[in-house]
Amino acid sequence: MANQINNHEIDYHIYGEELQFVEVELDPQETAIAESGAMMMMEEGIEMQTIFGDGSVQQNSGFLGKLISAGKRLLTGESLFMTAFTNRGQGKKKVSFAAPYTGKIIPIDLLQLGGTIIAQKDAFLCAAKGVSVGIHFQRKLGVGIFGGEGFIMEKIEGDGMAFLHAGGYIIEKNLVPGEVLMVDTGCLVAYTPGVQFDIEFVKGIKNLMFGGEGLFFARLQGPGKVWIQSLPISRLASRIVAYGTYHRKEEGSVLGGLGNLLDGRE
């Protein structure tokens, strides 16, 4: 006898390259959940409902259970509410969710990954109903203080499909037992619970002063799977702000225009 699947079993297709969206196909009475504002379009027959928490404990849980679920989301910096999209029509219906910025959507089959992944805050995009989006406390204080994304990360649990989003190009790596990978702290997107996550100080005063990188690396040790992003949104935002607030002394002059052409700023 096959094991019972608790989450709704949804089909999906991801479109696009740098700016992607995921189209989820729902059978009658199937439901997908998403962060507020993620929906791009949906077919007639799909009903939207605002839910308290993440939708994983909506039935037979009472107000306290829902409050605990919502409180976990609040601790990770997310809204107390999510949106559920349920197919109330006849036949299959489609709803699409768009990535919030340039990057890739990562489909995660939780059933194939032991039921749990740990992800950076703001990585969650949408999932099948029944997937829990809670909190994960880093056990080591150094990870929390210097981990790049803060002390609290998201724990995504269930046996259905979940979709993450991260910036730039995404690489998925499988670490064998004992294998170590050093990662810029902001570039870590997610990892399976078997991976040991710690923070390592950059050694060497020259590296600190002239290396151009941060003072800390994320040290990931297998076994397990990790997802790495090439362009964290924080890095992209800081570059945009720096560019927008930078003024050359010769701007507005003929020489200034020539200079901008030569260095690629025009």
Residue 264 lies in a domain: no
pTM above 0.85, yes or no: no
- DSSP states of 240-258 as a string? HHHHHT---TTTTSHHHHH
Residue 65 falls within a domain, yes or no?
Answer: yes
Encode pLDDT of 226-258 as tens digits: 999 998 877 766 667 766 665 554 444 444 554
Q: How far is CA 240 from CA 98, 167, 233, 234, 245, in A?
A: 22, 15, 11, 10, 9
Instruction: Say how many domains are in the chain.
Output: 1
CATH number assigned to the domain comprising residue 38: 3.60.160.10
Q: How far apart are alpha carbons 147 and 125 in whole angstroms?
A: 22
At residue 56, the pLDDT reads 60
On whether residue 4 sits in a domain, the answer given is no
Contact between residue 156 and residue 64 where contact means Cβ atoms under 8 Å apart? no
Instruction: Say if 163 falls within a structural domain.
Output: yes
**Per-residue pLDDT, 139:** 54
Low-confidence ranges of the chain (pLDDT < 70): 1-6, 52-80, 137-151, 202-215, 236-239, 242-266
Write down the pLDDT at residue 75. 42
Write the CA distances from 20 to 13, 69, 129, integer angstroms: 10, 29, 22
**Per the domain annotation, does 86 fall within a domain?**
yes
Q: Please, what's the largest Cα pairwise distance for the chain?
A: 78
d(CA 78, CA 121): 8
* Chain Cα centroid distance, residue 15: 18
pLDDT of residue 227: 97
Q: Is position 266 within any domain?
A: no
Residue 187 in tokens = 């570039």
Q: Determine, yes or no, domain membership for 256.
A: no
Parent domain of 134:
11-244
Q: What is the pLDDT of residue 57?
A: 53
What's the mean pLDDT when you consider all of the chain?
77
Per-residue pLDDT tens digits for 75-107: 444 556 788 999 999 999 999 999 988 899 999
Q: Helices (H), strands (E): how many in the chain?
A: 5, 19
pLDDT at 17: 87
